[in-house]
Every structure is written in C-alpha cells, then in structure tokens.
Copies of this chain bind each other. A is one copy, B any other.
Amino acid sequence: MTTDPWQYFTFADNGEPLQLDSGRSLGPVTLAYETHGSLNADRSNAILILHAFSGNSHVANHAHTGGRDDGPGWWEAMVGPGLGIDTDKYFVICSNILGSCCGSTGPGSPNPETGKPYGLDFPMVTIGDMVRAQKSLIDHLGISRLYAVIGGSVGGMQVLQWCVSYPEMVRTAIPLATTMRHSALCIAFNEVARQAIMADPKWRKGKYPDDDPPELGLAVARMVGHITYLSDKAMHRKFGRKLQEREDLSFRFESDFQVESYLNYQGTKFVRRFDANSLLYITKASDYFDLNNEKEATINRLEKAPIKFLVVSFTSDWLYPTYQSRELVQALKRNGCNVSFCEIHADCGHDAFLLPNKRLTTLIRGFLDGAKTA
C-alpha cells in the first residue's frame, strides 16, 4: 500500500456506474483521496475521515508522516503521529466527497456526453450516494472493515450514513457536531446561500465558464455560512465593535467594523477555492439528510449493530445544537447500540470541532484506544 498523497480512484475501472438515490446513475465517478500512515497486515487499522461541506481530501500535511511537505490540512491538530487520530497506529483515509470540486466528480466535471462541465445536468446526489461512492473506494483498497469512521458536520452525517448503509463494515463511529436530520433552521440558511448564488446573473443557470463564475453570489453565500459556524460570544471576543483600520465611523457604505472586513475577506477567499454549483449540490444533499424520516426511519436499521459510537456536541454550536445530538443518542440507544456521548464546553460555535481542542483530542484518542481492547 502506497501512501502517496492526492490519489484518484475512478469507478470506470470497474465499468459500473454509481446508482443514485434519485434513481439516476452516474459514471464514470472519480474520488480524490489521500492517506496517512500504513495499513497493517490484517487490514484492521483503517480510519476513514469524512470532511465537512467545503472540505477536501487534504486532512493533514504529509510531511508529518515522512512524505513531502504539501501544506497544512484542514484537521492538522487532530491527525498525525501521536495526535488524537494517531497516524503511527492507524491508516487514515480521507476522500473528497461526490459533488464537490476538489478532485472528485461534481457538477464542474466534464459530462462524458458533451465534453463540457455538467452544470445542472449533474444528478442530485445524497449523503447516501456520497457514502456509496466511498464504499467502492474502501473495497478498492481491500479493506473489509473500517476501524473507525470519523467526521464533523456534513462529515458527521456521512459517519451516520456509513453505519446505516454498511453496519458490518464499521467498528467504531465518531459523529461530531452533527445531526441525524437536517433542521428547518439549517435548511433555511442553506436556501439563502443557494438563492444568493442563483440570483447572481453570472450564475447563468449553472452554465458559467471557469474564469467567470458567479463570484459575488458565492461570496454572499459563504458569508452567511461563516456566521453560522461562529457564535455570538466568539464574534464578540474576536471582533466586538472594533473598527477596521480607522479611528471613527466612515458615515459611508464601507467596512467600518472588523467583522465586516472579515466576512468580506472570507467571502472573497472562498470564491478562489470553491465552485458555486458544488455548493448548491452539497447543501441540497445535507438538506435531504434525514435518518429519522417518518416514512422510513433508516436509523432503526442499526438495531443491535455491533458498532461503538462516540457522539460529541459543542455547547455553543447553534447550527447542530446539543439537543440534536441527544436525539441521536436516544435513537441509537433505543436500537440497543453501544453509545458514549459527550458535550464539550466551547464558546466558538459550530467551528469548535475543527479547532485545536485538548478535550476533544483526548476523548477521540481514548475512545479509539479503548475500542481496540474491547
């Protein structure tokens, strides 16, 4: 097993298109993925990390594991030798999700029928579809059971979907700062983000050229998202009413306050690294996510599943508040699952799961070590 970063797995190799929850199929499908550490002889130490909405496969710098320096990853504080997810012990896999724009197939990929980007001809994908694609990757890597699936936010939804779809393939599961069904509030914020993009005339019903995307709409969408990742307290501490490089109010429509500059900067920065159509597809996938649907509560497929769960929420997360993690814990317990639950005190909002946090690191390390002897 090589541990080279930025590898690609394409389903076309199998000749089988991916069957989607919508009834449509998609192929060829490519997943970009990266690995850290080494798979052991009996292939029992693999951990699949699932990234959040705008993430990618680059979970940590490969320089820490003897590879080339390819820059910091999005979970640098958690993944590496001796860290919470210890790459000296575990073989870590992280793949970019289906529908995204960081190497995996998404609306920006060429449609084999036209040779041009799919745009809105890309089929709607669900969290279930994302996980189905990942399952093919794990099969391809010759791993029959994952030691753990771990992820926060939309990544946490994938963790839960993995358990529901392939319970026999999951030994332990750590869903962080997430929910088993997307709330009206979350759908509402996602809808605003989508409308901001679709209101931009440069969006052109999804058929925009690479070099002229709907950047103003995408920036507004990101600003909305960014607010929801923070908390009132964190914003007060970080920005308060501090002015941005000025002594007094401008009495003009400029960025008077640091929080305004910060949001504008985040919006503009995002445009350079993310695709507007991917945002539309991934937000819709998370809005569709509901393991406790009245028609079919798929969470109940977990009845007596031999998976050990660690559910973690954060006190100031108002996007996926603790009560939603508690509902998840209750549903899992009702199904006779083995569940540990921890609410971590953190005042930095939903982003807490991504930020360095001793408590979270200790918790994850201990849980993973404990599951080994169990």
Within 8 A of B (CB), among A55-88: none
**A259 contact set on B, CB distance < 8 A:** 184, 187-188, 191
Chain B residue nearest in CB terms to A202: B201
With beta carbons under 8 angstroms apart, the residue of B188, B235, B293, B318 that contacts A183 is B235
- A145 contacts the other chain (CB 8 A): no
Is A280 interfacial (CB-CB < 8 Å)? yes
Whether B241 contacts A194 by the Cβ 8 Å rule is no
From 185 to 239 in chain A, residues with beta carbon under 8 angstroms from any chain B beta carbon are 185, 187-189, 191-192, 194-196, 198-201, 216-217, 219-220, 223-224, 227, 230, 232, 235-236, 238-239
With a cutoff of 8 Å between Cβ atoms, the chain B residues found around residue A308 in the complex are: none
Complex CA–CA separation, A288 to B250 (angstroms):
10
> A249-278 interface mask toward B, CB cutoff 8 Å, 1 = contact, 0 = none?
101110111011001100100000000000
Q: Does A123 contact B (CB under 8 A)?
A: yes
B-chain residues with CB within 8 Å of residue A256 when the two chains form the complex: 287-288
Assess whether A14 is interfacial by the CB under 8 Å rule: no
Flag A238-252 by CB within 8 Å of B: 1 or 0 each.
111100000001011
Interface centre among A220, A223, A259 (most CB of B within 10 A): A220
Copies in the complex: 2
Partner of A241, one of B22, B181, B191, B230: B181
Q: Please tell me if A344 contacts chain B, counting CB pairs below 8 Å.
A: no
Name the residue in A120, A188, A227, A249 with the highest tally of chain B Cβ atoms < 10 Å from its Cβ: A188
Say yes or no: A318-B232 contact (C-beta < 8 A), given A182-B241, A241-B181.
Answer: yes
How far, in whole Å, are A260 and B192 apart by their CA atoms in the complex? 9
- Report the Cα distance A217→B199, complex, angstroms: 7
- Closest chain-B Cβ to A122's Cβ sits at a distance in Å of 11
CA distance A255 to B190 in the complex (A): 12
Closest to A23 in B: B251
A351 contacts partner chain B, Cβ-Cβ < 8 Å: no
- A192, A198, A251: most-surrounded residue (chain B CB, <10 A): A192
Residue from the list B185, B217, B227 in contact with A188, Cβ < 8 A: B227
Residues of B within 8 A of A185 (CB): 227, 230, 232, 235-236
The 5 closest A-B pairs by CB, nearest first: A199-B216, A184-B235, A22-B251, A124-B251, A184-B239
Q: A195-B219, A196-B199, A196-B220 are in contact. List 18 more A-B contacts (CB 8 A).
A: A124-B251, A183-B232, A183-B236, A184-B240, A185-B227, A185-B232, A187-B241, A187-B259, A191-B264, A192-B223, A192-B263, A195-B216, A198-B253, A199-B216, A224-B224, A253-B280, A256-B287, A256-B288
